[in-house]
Structure 1
Amino acid sequence: MASTAISLSLPTFPSSSSTVKAKPSIFSHPHLFIAKNVPSSSLFSSSTKITKQIRTAFKIKCSSASFSNTLPSALLFDCDGVLVDTEKDGHRVSFNDTFNEKELGVTWGVDLYGELLKIGGGKERMTAYFNKTGWPDKAPKSEEERKAFIASLHKRKTELFMALIENRLLPLRPGVAKLIDQALGEGVKVAVCSTSNEKAVSAVVSCLLGPERAEKIQIFAGDVVPRKKPDPAIYTLAANTLGVEPSSCVVVEDSAIGLAAAKAAGMTCIVTKSGYTADEDFLNADAVFDCIGDPPEERFDLAFCGSLLEKQYVS
């Protein structure tokens, strides 16, 4: 089957604006972040006038020296697109290899897969696609048998994806290991919260971050919650399990559905854009960067994460 452009509608979830409305609205360029509507008394000279009708932004170098010692209680990472830019050359390739092995006549092109990523979860993604475009001839007819069919495809896809990770064919994104080491060194709890299969996420964490880090990182993934992102369930579960308040957590996401999940859970969220998500709407994010970054190309660090919790900048 040729790649087909499809339009997918997503459920909406209640806004958490009541819990995060005092959070900053910060957007970034490499090495910089922009604070919007910051009171003139604290950051501008007396000659500068700011009115409610004019939104004035200015750039401040992002250095930890500017911030106090407040730290998050927990740092929560999405996996795909955040720890590793896996989607185009990892998950998509593994899906296509699985479809080819099963002789389904299905290929997901780069653009099509970008649309499918608006649906959280691989099994859900395949089901939505087949419901929209038609099920393969080799697929069973009953709903229950189709669930088992999808589960078998996903199991094989996960095996192929894990082989890519175990062979280290997909590298960590810049700054990931650095930020995790800073958090663990300061006693900040670290977890990975993903819609992907738990085995695949565990492989990323153990193979690419190493066993010493992996044993200190809790994983919440796959079907551990009944509803996947943009539903906040996985982030709520992580906070409850770790014994921390959602308002003290900082999430690192790369997608609009991940951002929606984090904000609906009442958490601060930093977006590090990935290949598929660069053009998505991140207006509700507390900060947006192209990556975390390693020195000397560092975009932000743990101190910056803590500063977002202090509500130093008012939008």
Structure 2
Amino acid sequence: MTRLDAVIFDVDGTLVDSERDGHRVAFNAAFAEAGLPDRWDIDRYGDLLRIAGGTQRMAHWFESTGRSPAQAGELTERLHPIKTRIMRNLVEDGRIQPRPGARELIERLAARGIALHVATTGTRAWVEPLLRHAFGPVFDVVITGTEVPDLKPSPAVYLEVLARTRCAPEHVVAVEDSANGVLAATAAGLRCVAAQNAYTRSHDLSAALLVADGLDDPELVSWFDDQLSAASPRRR
């Protein structure tokens, strides 16, 4: 069994239930603040999630609802910072909660001296306070879309974590929830396990070593216990 030295987590939909009751709510509030009639219900937002990146999602929506490319670009540039501010407020108000099993898995890994990192294309303005509020100072390296703008399935954000930590890819596991995330992790040479959620159950996650129903899925818990049996404890 390959030794486990580090785990790199995605954030949205993986560590936290942030899409339906976080980002979607923030997008709708930004539309309302701008006086626009646009609203994304739960199912529509699930469809839009197939477009990677919040700005890209917003621009696509505006064009698909009859705005010109120029109008769509102007609206997106104006509204996305508003959406980010609202999302940060939701985070600081404690509205975005860890997924079941997230804290327990992190505690189990940390107790064995496994290095914990984050690779997300979310904006640091809300990612950083979310991780602090939800989990405390447990992550060694956090790379966000603010530092690496290439969206998953590009492996760029994972490669940046590996470069900064000097971790050997064969000794690292990524935890993702979506097809784009799994493809990004595996393209970086990492083993990947997928903890799917309601929005990603229809995704092709076949590139993952394991597809679980969540971070508290007994199969995922058992898989990590097996990996920890081969881990070499280290001082953090």
Answer yes or no: same fold by TM over 0.5. yes
- CA-to-partner distance for each residue in 1:175-204, whole Å, 9 max, x for gaps? 211222222233322111112111211122
- CA-to-partner distance for each residue in 1:74-129, whole Å, 9 max, x for gaps? 20111011111111111001100100110122111222211211122211211222
Q: How does 1:32-181 map to 2 (within 5 A)?
A: 71-135=3-67, 141=71, 146=74, 149-181=75-107
Q: Distance in 1 between matches of 2:78 and 2:72?
A: 15
Paired position in structure 2 for 1:304: 226
Q: Which amino acid aligns with 2:221?
A: F
Paired position in structure 2 for 1:236: 159
TM-score, normalization: structure 2? 0.87
Q: Distance in 1 between matches of 2:44 and 2:226?
A: 36
Paired position in structure 2 for 1:188: 114
- Cα gap change, 1:125/1:142 in structure 2, threshold over 3 Å: closer, same or farther? closer
8 Å contact from structure 2 (residues 193, 208) kept in 1: yes
- CA-to-partner distance for each residue in 1:37-78, whole Å, 9 max, x for gaps? xxxxxxxxxxxxxxxxxxxxxxxxxxxxxxx7x642220111
Residue identity (%): 35
- Pick the structure with more helix per residue: 2
Q: Which amino acid aligns with 1:94?
A: A
- Cα gap change, 1:184/1:151 in structure 2, threshold over 3 Å: closer, same or farther? farther
Gap regions ≥5 residues in structure 1: 1-67, 310-315
Q: Distance in 1 between matches of 2:48 and 2:228?
A: 34
Paired position in structure 2 for 1:227: 150
Q: How does 1:248-263 map to 2 (within 5 A)?
A: 248-263=171-186
- Cα gap change, 1:198/1:108 in structure 2, threshold over 3 Å: closer, same or farther? same
Q: Distance in 2 between matches of 1:117 and 1:206?
A: 25
Q: Which amino acid aligns with 1:251?
A: A
Q: Which amino acid aligns with 2:127?
A: V
Counting matched residue pairs gives 230
Paired position in structure 2 for 1:278: 201
Paired position in structure 2 for 1:202: 128
Paired position in structure 2 for 1:217: 140
Gap regions ≥5 residues in structure 2: 232-236
Q: Which amino acid aligns with 1:188?
A: I
Q: Distance in 2 between matches of 1:166 and 1:274?
A: 23
8 Å contact from structure 1 (residues 286, 308) kept in 2: no
- Cα gap change, 1:265/1:100 in structure 2, threshold over 3 Å: closer, same or farther? same
8 Å contact from structure 1 (residues 77, 253) kept in 2: yes
SS in 2 for 1:269: strand
Q: Distance in 2 between matches of 1:308 and 1:257?
A: 29
8 Å contact from structure 2 (residues 121, 149) kept in 1: no
